[in-house]
């Protein structure tokens, strides 16, 4: 679009370019005249031998080809022209005797045929139809091109974001460890008692907050690594029940203070899992800490481990907590999203837990599925393929 003064002017469409190949020179010239009068740019050749590299610059949109040339088959000529201009369309010109040739040409990809003698209006009508197709295709190519550029840019930006997050997180971890280390020394009163006593409380708060920020930073770092494809799984043999017990120990304090009951149900004879142990721990901890966070006092939280009918290993984490609204269920699986209520109820959590867990499951060729009802509860199911089970 060009802007002239206050008017917005659309750029005129490029002239239509037609190549004419016919060994009857007079006929070819008269076609050229008709088309030039109608605003076309034309180029006339009288033999297949004229189809040479130098011609390529003409950039024909359409080629008008006589199928019955003295020295060669028009079909070969069409192929040669199409090789020069892959986006061009061919229209075949034929006499009564050679209609079959024309039909063969159409089978080979020619757009249409004109039977000689034809009227100028007939020629223009066929060309107009043909150009409708060409222009549609050209628009589509331009749109695709734009999309591809946008996609390239988005991918580049996304990579830059992941790298930035990874670097940032590293930088933040160093001072955080200083905060954690010294606040621990102070809260434990390593070098003698603190006065007044209040300072011990403060040091505890500093230490707890620091630990929380560290866990957030670690999540961001993990997410960035996964998104930029730098994360790999380190496989070993993992005993699921041991992981469940480990997570329960980690969450025992919080569960008890909210009077939440933690239960596990592990089917007999569950084989070990070939997986990244740290990730399995982290996934289960993410799900269980959500359950603890979003279940009101007195609630119940359960982990059920079973083998599905098809042999897959299924780990379900269920709670009878606040639940997640239907319309949020898809969204919260994306990185950095938290439920509406979660924001008002508690500000902790960057909204990465579920997204990370889902990505980690995918790295294990598994799936994460979420089912939830408001005020009834939530079940998150992790499914590992049976190929990951050790016999």
Ligand X SMILES: Nc1ncnc2c1ncn2[C@@H]1O[C@H](COP(=O)(O)OP(=O)(O)O)[C@@H](O)[C@H]1O
Q: Which two tokens stand for residue 340?
A: 């509406």
Is the CB of residue 93 less than 8 Å from the CB of residue 23? no
* Region of 16-24, 107-115, 149-157, 343-351 interacting with Mg ion (CB under 5 A): 343-351
Residue 301's binding partner out of Mg ion, ligand X, none, with CB under 5 to 8 Å set by partner kind: none
Q: Is residue 290 close enough to count as binding Mg ion by CB under 5 A? A: yes
Piece of the chain touching Mg ion by CB under 5 A; list 47-55, 184-192, 202-210, 283-291: 283-291
Name which of 93 and 332 has its Cβ closer to ligand X: 332
Could you say whether residue 339 binds ligand X (CB under 6 A)?
yes
DSSP strands (E only) in 260-299: 261-266, 273-276
294 sits near ligand X (criterion: CB under 6 A): yes
List 114, 187, 378, 388, residue binding ligand X (CB under 6 A)? 378
Residue 183 contacts residue 209 (beta carbons within 8 Å): no
Q: Which helix (DSSP H) or strand (DSSP E) does residue 306 occupy?
A: strand 300-307
Give the residue among 301, 216, 210, 303 at the shortest CA–CA distance from 262: 301
Footprint of ligand X on 261-290 (CB under 6 A): 286, 290
Which residue lies nearer to ligand X by CB, 85 or 294?
294
Which of 74, 353, 366, 377 touches Mg ion (CB under 5 A)? 353
| CB of 371 vs ligand X, minimal distance in Å | 11
Residue 356 beta carbon to ligand X: minimum distance, rounded to whole angstroms: 7
Give yes or no for residue 319 binding ligand X (CB under 6 A): yes
For the four alpha carbons of 207, 213, 216 and 222, in that order, the dihedral sign comes to: negative
Q: Choose the stretch contacting Mg ion; rule: CB under 5 A; options: 163-171, 193-201, 350-358, 373-381.
A: 350-358
Least Å from the CB of residue 323 to ligand X: 6
| Binding residues for Mg ion, total number by CB under 5 A | 3
Judged by CB under 6 A, does residue 353 bind ligand X? yes
Within 10 A of 265 (CB to CB), how many other CB atoms are there? 12
Q: Which is nearer to Mg ion, 40 or 294 (CB)?
A: 294
Distance CA 270, CA 273 (A): 9
Closest CA to 352 of 308, 268, 286: 286
Nearest approach in angstroms of CB 204 to ligand X is 23
Told to check if 332 binds ligand X by CB under 6 A, we report: yes
Q: Which residue is nearest to Mg ion (CB)?
A: 353
Asked if 335 touches Mg ion (CB under 5 A), the answer is no
| Distance in Å, CB of 298 to Mg ion, minimum | 21
φ/ψ (deg, to 5) at 323: 75, 175
Binds 351: which of ligand X, Mg ion, none (CB < 5-8 Å by kind): ligand X
- Residues 305, 266 contacting (CB under 8 angstroms): yes
Instruction: Compute the least distance from the CB of residue 305 to ligand X, in Å.
Output: 18
Query: What DSSP string describes 154-213?
Result: HHHHHHHHHHHHHHHHHHHHHHHHHHHHHHHHHHTTTTS--SSTHHHHHHHHHHHHHHHH
Q: Which of residues 54-83 bind ligand X (CB under 6 A)?
A: none
Q: Which residues of 280-306 are buried (b: 16+ CB within 10 A; e: fewer)?
A: bbbbbbbbbbbbbbbbeeebebbbbbe
- Tell me: does residue 291 bind ligand X (CB under 6 A): yes
**Structure tokens belonging to residue 221:** 């770092």
Q: Which of 350, 363, 367, 371 binds ligand X (CB under 6 A)?
A: 350
How are beta strands 112-115 and 89-94 bridged, if at all? parallel
Which residues of the shown chain bind ligand X in the complex (CB under 6 A)? 286, 290-291, 294, 319, 321-324, 332, 338-339, 342, 349-355, 378
Which residues of the shown chain bind Mg ion in the complex (CB under 5 A)? 290, 349, 353
């Amino acid at each position: 679009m060009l802007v002239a003064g206050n008017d917005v002017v659309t750029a005129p469409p490029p002239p239509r370019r037609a190549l004419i190949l016919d060994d009857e020179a007079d006929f070819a010239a008269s076609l050229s005249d008709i088309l030039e009068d109608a605003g076309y740019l034309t180029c006339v050749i009288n033999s297949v031998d004229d189809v040479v590299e130098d011609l390529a610059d003409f950039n024909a949109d359409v080629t008008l080809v006589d199928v019955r040339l003295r020295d060669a088959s028009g079909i070969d000529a069409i192929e040669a022209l199409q090789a020069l201009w892959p986006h061009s369309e061919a229209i075949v010109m034929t006499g009564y005797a050679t209609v079959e040739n024309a039909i063969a040409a159409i089978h080979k990809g020619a757009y249409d045929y004109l039977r000689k003698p034809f009227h100028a209006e007939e020629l223009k009508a066929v060309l107009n139809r043909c150009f409708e197709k060409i222009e549609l295709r050209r628009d589509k190519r331009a749109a695709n091109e734009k999309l591809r550029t946008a996609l390239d840019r988005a991918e580049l930006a996304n990579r830059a974001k992941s790298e930035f997050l990874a670097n940032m997180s590293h930088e933040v971890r160093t001072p955080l460890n200083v905060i954690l280390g010294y606040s621990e020394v102070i809260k434990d009163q390593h070098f003698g008692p603190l006065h007044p006593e209040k300072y011990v409380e403060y040091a505890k708060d500093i230490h707890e907050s620091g630990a929380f920020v560290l866990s957030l930073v670690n999540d961001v770092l993990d997410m960035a690594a996964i998104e930029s494809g730098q994360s790999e799984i380190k496989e070993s043999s993992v005993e699921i029940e041991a992981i469940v017990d480990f997570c329960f120990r980690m969450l025992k304090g919080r569960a008890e203070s909210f009077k939440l009951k933690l239960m596990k149900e592990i089917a007999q004879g569950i084989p070990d899992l070939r997986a990244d142990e740290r990730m399995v721990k982290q996934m289960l901890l993410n799900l269980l800490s959500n359950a603890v966070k979003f279940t009101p006092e007195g609630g119940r939280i359960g982990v059920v481990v079973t083998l599905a009918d098809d042999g897959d290993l299924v780990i379900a984490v269920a709670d009878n907590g606040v639940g997640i609204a239907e319309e949020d269920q898809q969204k919260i699986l994306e990185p950095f999203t938290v439920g509406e209520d979660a924001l008002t109820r508690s500000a902790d959590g960057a909204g990465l837990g579920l997204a990370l867990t889902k990505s980690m499951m995918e790295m294990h060729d598994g799936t994460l599925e979420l089912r939830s009802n408001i005020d009834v509860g939530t079940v998150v199911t992790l499914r590992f393929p049976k190929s990951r089970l050790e016999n």
